[in-house]
A and B are shown apart, each in its own frame.
Chain A
Amino acid sequence: MKRKIFSGIFLVSVLTFLACLVLILGVLYNYFDMQLIEGLHTEGTTIAAGIEAGGETYLQNLTMYDNRLTWIAADGEVLFDNQADPSSMENHLDREEIAEALQSGQGESSRYSETLSQKTVYYALKLSDNSVIRLSDTRSTVWNLLFGMFQPILLVLTIAIILSAILASRISKSIVRPINAIDLEAPDVEGNYDEISPLLLKIHHQNDQIRRQMEELRRQREEFQLITENMSEGFLVVDAKTELLSYNSAALRLLGSGPVEGTPSVLTLNRGESFRHAVETALAGEHCEQTMSLGSAVYHVIANPVTHQKKPAGAVIVILDCTERELRDQMRREFTSNVSHELKTPLTSIYGVSEMIANGIVKPGDIRSFAQNIHEESGRLITLIEDIMKLSQLDENSIPADPVAVDLYQLAASVIERLKRQAEERNIAVDLDGGTAIVQGIPNVLEEMIYNLCDNAIKYNRDGGRVRISVNKDKDGHPVVRVQDTGIGIPKEHQARVFERFYRADKSHSKKIGGTGLGLSIVKHAAAYHGATVRLESEEGKGTIVTVRF
């Protein structure tokens, strides 16, 4: 725009200058022409008067006159010429100006001399004797004039060009400046050219509109991000080339990936078989659900195709962490198998023995010992079912008693009394130390808890071992029951799971030791019921320490 304005102004000024030059030259040239002719007229009149008075002698004395002067007789013969020999000159009767003068008293004409680029102006005047004097003056043509003025004209032209260039540049700048200064973000509609204020107004409105739309978009994006970021499920959007378009941090966390740069392929996050299969199936246009395990975690991957104009354009992948569910499922399966095993073992012996008795293949003398067997096994079953019932009571918090003050020390002492015979059989020394420690609780639940701990400590002890039970208060005044044995201990990998129902460190479910596999589970639930924590320290082959802190 600036350039256009500049060239416009510049062109106009140069053209104006040239036009002026032509005009002035034309006017001046004509003016000089007139002057010349007028001079010739005056001179002619004077000289005519001179000749009328003095004849040829006047002409002979007119040496000062520097224009050409010719005296021609009425018949055209040249009588006198101040610049040429009259005798050598031809008859002038046919000359335009002479003919004119002879006819009307005076005549004039002008002729161009091509070679000299000159113009000769003639003026003829008829005298009283019908002879004619002719004056002539030469002058340069306009081109000659121009050529002669070439240098000054060039100089002036150059100056004019420079001046107009500077001016044009300044003017164009000053015209453009307000336009350049427009702040497109917030155009000043009032303070600018009237011609562009509608445009600025429009820009202003559109800016507003764009701002609002951007704001709306940003809000929507933030909303979306907020929703996906707060999902615990992983969320991924990929395009048809498996490039990652959108994701939430949960997805990266679940897939164990670091921060993502650019739009890498989703397969850089995980390239496991099931994940890849899910992505590929979804991109082929089919819904796909897969379960994949990553380390110890188990994920459920749901991939849905995104179609655009009936062609798969990408996929939305949702990753659910179902590690806990899988773990629970596994525990339930184990629990069911354990409980049925525990229930079945005594029943099988009872069934077998009673069948033998019913079929009469048992000698009457042996019936007693067989009955003893049935008695023991059914006793085991009853203990087991009692344990399960206790647990479910604890589970449902439906213990039908109000908490009362219980002395754990006394409780421990009575438990030891009950287990005395069992310990003595295997020559295990049981000590109790510490002092009174009162807690608010359900006496039989607490007793059951301590009983189970001590029972385990004796059962899983070596012969001639030692069990130490201490009941006291820690430095914060919380009652603590600690049962330490010198038994077989629990291997590291089982320690976390021995509190599960029916879980046995020794998988063989050996009958030798007995027990239901519910003991520690009852301890855990009983402790939890009383708001106590249970801690297990154990070293294989050396012994176990269980600490219950209220």
Chain B
Amino acid sequence: MMRSKFDEQLEYLNVELIKMGALCEEAISSAIKALLDDDQEMSRKAQDTDREIDQKERDIESLCLKLLLQQQPVARDLRVISSALKMISDMERIGDQASDIAEITAFISGNEVQSRIHIRDMALAAINMVTESIDSFVRKDMSLAQNVIQSDDTVDALFLKVKEELISLIKGDNGSAEAYMDLLMIAKYLERIGDHATNIAEWVLFSITGKHVEG
């Protein structure tokens, strides 16, 4: 009886994590829409979603602690719960960064620069990484998780590319240097989102295999 209750709670934790992951995806895709389509409505939505993510993090955290204290899980169950604890902090960071990006979009509103650099590719790559990392968690898919860890290099490379593009733009045109700096910030946030997605994928691998690979 105790055991089945515990299983139920673990399943509930799983569903809550999926919901939180979905919120992360929403936050980042709203932020990217705000950036690429210059849509202030989306910017607000990203920031609202971030608040929801923060709330979810607290809920899941207390659920995890309750499970740890009351059920004293061992082996696999312990791994699942501890990796959940780690994952939610990465997800929460993704939400924060999405919110930060959304905030910056207000300052570069009406600027056409973003269409001239590779920030779109980078944003799509980062969204893809987040989606795949959540997918790998949902399906407990190890190869997908490996895939996410590998695609971090793509996002890193794109970040360098965007940085160089911005440098050459600043050299040629001093007028909108501020916007360029904002774009650089956004690129950096996207790069960090990629890192957090990588972390999530690593925790997924840990919860399955019990080995934590530091990427």
Starting from the known contacts A241-B11, A241-B15, A276-B22, 16 additional A-B residue pairs (CB-CB under 8 Å) come to: A241-B12, A242-B15, A243-B11, A258-B139, A265-B14, A265-B18, A267-B15, A268-B18, A268-B139, A271-B18, A271-B19, A271-B21, A271-B22, A271-B134, A273-B22, A276-B19
Query: Contact at B138–A268, with CB atoms within 8 Å?
Result: yes
As a 0/1 sequence over residues 263 to 282 of chain A, the CB contacts with chain B under 8 angstroms (1 = contact) are 00101100111001000000
Query: Contact at B22–A265, with CB atoms within 8 Å?
Result: no
Query: Contact at A267–B19, with CB atoms within 8 Å?
Result: yes
Residues of A within 8 A of B103 (CB): none
Majority SS of interface residues in chain B? helix
Residues of A within 8 A of B15 (CB): 241-242, 265, 267
Query: Contact at A273–B26, with CB atoms within 8 Å?
Result: yes
Contacting B22 at CB < 8 Å: which of A241, A243, A258, A272?
Answer: A272
In chain A between 312 and 356, which residues have their CB closer than 8 angstroms to a CB of chain B?
A: none
Closest Cβ of chain A to B173, distance in Å, is: 29
Query: Would you list the 3 A-B pairs with minimal beta carbon distance, nearest first?
Result: A271-B22, A265-B15, A267-B18
Q: How far is the CA of A268 from the CA of B19 in the complex (A)?
A: 10
Q: How far is the CA of A273 from the CA of B46 in the complex (A)?
A: 13
Could you tell me how many residues of chain A have their Cβ less than 8 Å away from some Cβ of chain B? 11
In chain B between 12 and 37, which residues have their CB closer than 8 angstroms to a CB of chain A?
A: 12, 14-15, 18-19, 21-22, 25-26
Closest Cβ of chain B to A465, distance in Å, is: 34
Q: How far is the CA of A246 from the CA of B60 in the complex (A)?
A: 28
Contacting B11 at CB < 8 Å: which of A258, A265, A272?
Answer: A265
| Least CB separation from A263: chain B residue | B11
In chain A between 245 and 304, which residues have their CB closer than 8 angstroms to a CB of chain B?
A: 258, 265, 267-268, 271-273, 276
| Least CB separation from B134: chain A residue | A271
| Least CB separation from A257: chain B residue | B139
Residues of B within 8 A of A272 (CB): 22
As a 0/1 sequence over residues 419 to 433 of chain A, the CB contacts with chain B under 8 angstroms (1 = contact) are 000000000000000
- Pairs A–B under 8 Å by Cβ, sample size 25: A241-B8, A241-B12, A241-B15, A242-B15, A243-B11, A258-B139, A265-B11, A265-B14, A265-B15, A265-B18, A267-B18, A267-B19, A267-B22, A267-B138, A268-B139, A271-B18, A271-B19, A271-B21, A271-B25, A271-B138, A272-B22, A273-B22, A273-B26, A276-B19, A276-B22
Q: How far is the CA of A242 from the CA of B26 in the complex (A)?
A: 20
Of the listed residues A258, A273, A276, the one surrounded by the most CB atoms of chain B closer than 10 A to its CB is: A273
| Least CB separation from A271: chain B residue | B22
Residues of A within 8 A of B14 (CB): 265
Majority SS of interface residues in chain A? mixed
Q: How far is the CA of A260 from the CA of B18 in the complex (A)?
A: 16
Number of A-B contacts (CB under 8 A): 31
Residues of B within 8 A of A241 (CB): 8, 11-12, 15
Q: How far is the CA of A276 from the CA of B8 in the complex (A)?
A: 20
Q: How far is the CA of A276 from the CA of B15 in the complex (A)?
A: 11
| Least CB separation from A258: chain B residue | B139
Residues of B within 8 A of A243 (CB): 11
Q: How far is the CA of A243 from the CA of B12 in the complex (A)?
A: 10
Task: Please give the residue numbers on chain B whose beta carbons come within 8 Å of chain A beta carbons, in ascending order.
Answer: 8, 11-12, 14-15, 18-19, 21-22, 25-26, 134, 138-139
Q: How far is the CA of A265 from the CA of B15 in the complex (A)?
A: 7
Of the listed residues A242, A267, A272, the one surrounded by the most CB atoms of chain B closer than 10 A to its CB is: A267
Q: How far is the CA of A273 from the CA of B11 in the complex (A)?
A: 20
Closest Cβ of chain A to B16, distance in Å, is: 10
| Least CB separation from A265: chain B residue | B15
| Least CB separation from A280: chain B residue | B19
Q: How far is the CA of A268 from the CA of B15 in the complex (A)?
A: 8
Residues of B within 8 A of A271 (CB): 18-19, 21-22, 25, 134, 138
Of the listed residues A243, A258, A265, A276, the one surrounded by the most CB atoms of chain B closer than 10 A to its CB is: A265
Residues of B within 8 A of A267 (CB): 15, 18-19, 22, 138
Q: How far is the CA of A273 from the CA of B18 in the complex (A)?
A: 12
Closest Cβ of chain A to B6, distance in Å, is: 14
Closest Cβ of chain A to B3, distance in Å, is: 16
Q: How far is the CA of A273 from the CA of B23 in the complex (A)?
A: 8
Residues of B within 8 A of A268 (CB): 18, 138-139
Q: How far is the CA of A21 from the CA of B14 in the complex (A)?
A: 77
Residues of A within 8 A of B11 (CB): 241, 243, 265
Closest Cβ of chain A to B213, distance in Å, is: 24
Closest Cβ of chain A to B210, distance in Å, is: 21
Q: How far is the CA of A241 from the CA of B16 in the complex (A)?
A: 11
Closest Cβ of chain B to A341, distance in Å, is: 24
Q: How far is the CA of A272 from the CA of B29 in the complex (A)?
A: 11
Closest Cβ of chain B to A277, distance in Å, is: 10
| Least CB separation from A270: chain B residue | B22
Q: How far is the CA of A268 from the CA of B138 in the complex (A)?
A: 6
| Least CB separation from B45: chain A residue | A273
| Least CB separation from A269: chain B residue | B138
Q: How far is the CA of A276 from the CA of B24 in the complex (A)?
A: 14
Residues of B within 8 A of A273 (CB): 22, 26
| Least CB separation from B30: chain A residue | A273
Residues of A within 8 A of B139 (CB): 258, 268
Residues of B within 8 A of A258 (CB): 139
Residues of A within 8 A of B19 (CB): 267, 271, 276
| Least CB separation from B22: chain A residue | A271
Residues of A within 8 A of B25 (CB): 271
Closest Cβ of chain B to A104, distance in Å, is: 89
Residues of A within 8 A of B18 (CB): 265, 267-268, 271
Q: How far is the CA of A272 from the CA of B134 in the complex (A)?
A: 12
Closest Cβ of chain A to B198, distance in Å, is: 20
Closest Cβ of chain A to B31, distance in Å, is: 14
Q: How far is the CA of A272 from the CA of B139 in the complex (A)?
A: 15
Closest Cβ of chain B to A242, distance in Å, is: 6
| Least CB separation from B8: chain A residue | A241
Closest Cβ of chain B to A274, distance in Å, is: 10
Closest Cβ of chain A to B188, distance in Å, is: 27
As a 0/1 sequence over residues 196 to 215 of chain A, the CB contacts with chain B under 8 angstroms (1 = contact) are 00000000000000000000
Residues of B within 8 A of A265 (CB): 11, 14-15, 18
Residues of A within 8 A of B12 (CB): 241
| Least CB separation from A273: chain B residue | B26
Q: How far is the CA of A267 from the CA of B14 in the complex (A)?
A: 10
